Structure 1
Amino acid sequence: MKQILVVDDDQEIVNLISIYLKNEGFLIHRASNGKEALELMNKENIDLLILDLMMPVMDGMEVCRRLREQDSLVPILMLTAKSEDIDKISGLMSGADDYLTKPFNPLEVVARVKTLLRRVYQYVSKPQSDLILIDNLEIDQQSHTVKAAGKVILLTAKEFSILTILASNPGRVYSAEELYQLVWKESYMNANNTIMVHISNLRDKLEKELGYKVIKTIWGVGYKIEK
């Protein structure tokens, strides 16, 4: 049974999300602020974190940053009451895998949770031969690991998916729309900033070790990786 931690200082929201996720067979843990969330993350085997952005004591952005600094790869779905793009982008930059803006349909939360979990844990069943090698970049789809110049690089679930798509078809240019639809499994709705943030994160993590730009931008078209 997958365990999900729901973190929000609004108990009505926590209760609502918990009810819907419990009906889907998930085991739910609750926290009302970031400090409680980190304590529970250290005690329980949490498979996914639903995290409010604005909370007392410690906000969701700080929780994200601390977890990623601890090399945690747990999928994070960020909840925000704000609709400005800068807030969503900041959440993604801090390590979140996806976001939803309040108010939201609880069925959409369930759908996003299932998508994130499926994306992260589907690699367990992949065959050992699913290894992609491009120069000093190594992507193991079975173990869900990436090495750049021999060093293991920690990626979020969506970063891994984007990198795998580009590396599986070297030389092919993927538009932001294509990448969004392939990774998020939903219609592309002004999500270019989302793709840009994930590409930027990937470059920062990979190029520091590789010493060269592995993901190239084809202006006005999209992104590609050369063999």
Structure 2
Amino acid sequence: MSTASKETVLIVEDEPKIASLVADYLEGSGFASHHLDHGDSVVPWLEQQRPDLVLLDLMLPGTDGLTLCRQLRERWPRLPVIMLTARVEEVDRLLGLELGADDYICKPFSPREVVARIKAVLRRSRAAEVPGSTDGAALSLDDDGWRALADGQDLGLTAVEFQLLKVLMNAPGRIFSRDQLMDHMYRDHRIVSERTVDSHIKKLRKKISDVWPEREIIRSVYGVGYKYQPEE
């Protein structure tokens, strides 16, 4: 569990040297950490403890990282997950096509980069606990909390989904191409496919339709991209 003074990162990594190095850098940056080296132990541990973020290796003994990320998303959708991978071809799957990880880091990596990415994801996600204001009769964004509320109900968006919705809502009626949306979603200009945007849009629509089943506020423009079109 997180303490009042330190945020906790669960490191799931089967290479002891990597795990120890990351843990040392996290400790030096004011974090607490816990290390697991086998995929089968992750869900049982999370049923008893709740870290602020999970740093999850893709290749693990037992349950692999892809399966674990899917399980974590289903059971704890607001728990931030950063994937560690040496397989660049898996990036689309990690970021959204199947799993919706909050971020990924390719091996080999700098421990300083890992800490910086962790801090960035936590800044975006920790404020899910911060109350937002809404008039209770519309779709509103809580920028401090990185939350979207429909009729006062939290949609439970991931950080990337929130950023995507914010870009669209800031320009009602404007059509954004997939490339433009990727530039807003991933400011480090990482290379992902257009299918990743489509996957995020699909998940975002699903979360909105769970609250507003009769409304379609994110419209597809065939051959061009997407736009936010609030109802008249």
Question: Normalised by the size of structure 1, how large is the TM-score?
Answer: 0.80
Q: Indicate which of 89, 92, 97 corresponds to 1:89.
A: 92
Q: How does 1:51-66 map to 2 (within 5 A)?
A: 51-66=56-71
Q: Indicate which of 160, 163, 168 corresponds to 2:165.
A: 163
Q: CA RMSD in A?
A: 3.0
Q: Return closer, same or farther for 1:25/1:160 CA change in 2, 3 Å cut-off.
A: same
Q: Alpha-carbon deviation of 1:211?
A: 4.3
Q: Alpha-carbon deviation of 1:63?
A: 1.7
Q: Return closer, same or farther for 1:118/1:175 CA change in 2, 3 Å cut-off.
A: farther
**1:179 alignment partner AA:** L
1:75 aligns with 2:77: no
**2:163 alignment partner AA:** S
Q: How does 1:214-225 map to 2 (within 5 A)?
A: 214-219=217-222, 221-225=224-228
Name the CA distance, whole Å, in 2 between partners of 1:119 and 1:144: 6
Q: How does 1:114-193 map to 2 (within 5 A)?
A: 114-122=119-127, 128=133, 137=139, 139-141=141-143, 144-146=146-148, 153-187=155-189, 189-190=191-192, 192-193=194-195
Name the CA distance, whole Å, in 1 between partners of 2:99 and 2:88: 17
CA contact (8 A) 2:55 2:81 kept: yes
**2:14 alignment partner AA:** D
**1:217 alignment partner AA:** S
Q: Secondary structure at the match of 1:54?
A: coil
Q: Return closer, same or farther for 1:70/1:29 CA change in 2, 3 Å cut-off.
A: same
**TM-superposition CA deviations, 1:40-67 (whole Å, max 9, x none):** 3222231111101121211112222222
Q: Secondary structure at the match of 1:179?
A: helix
**TM-superposition CA deviations, 1:159-198 (whole Å, max 9, x none):** 1221233224321233434433434342354553433332
**1:8 alignment partner AA:** E
Q: Indicate which of 178, 203, 208 corresponds to 1:206.
A: 208
Q: Secondary structure at the match of 1:96?
A: coil
Name the CA distance, whole Å, in 1 between partners of 2:193 and 2:137: 29
Q: Alpha-carbon deviation of 1:220?
A: 5.2
CA contact (8 A) 1:207 1:214 kept: no
CA contact (8 A) 2:124 2:146 kept: no
**1:38 alignment partner AA:** V
Q: Indicate which of 34, 39, 46 corresponds to 1:41.
A: 46
Q: Which runs of 5+ in 2 are unaligned?
A: 1-5
CA contact (8 A) 1:132 1:167 kept: no
1:194 aligns with 2:196: yes
Q: Return closer, same or farther for 1:133/1:163 CA change in 2, 3 Å cut-off.
A: farther
**2:26 alignment partner AA:** L
Question: Normalised by the size of structure 2, how large is the TM-score?
Answer: 0.79
**TM-superposition CA deviations, 1:92-151 (whole Å, max 9, x none):** 32231111222222222122111111111356668635x6965xx555556655456887
State the match for 2:3 in structure 1. none
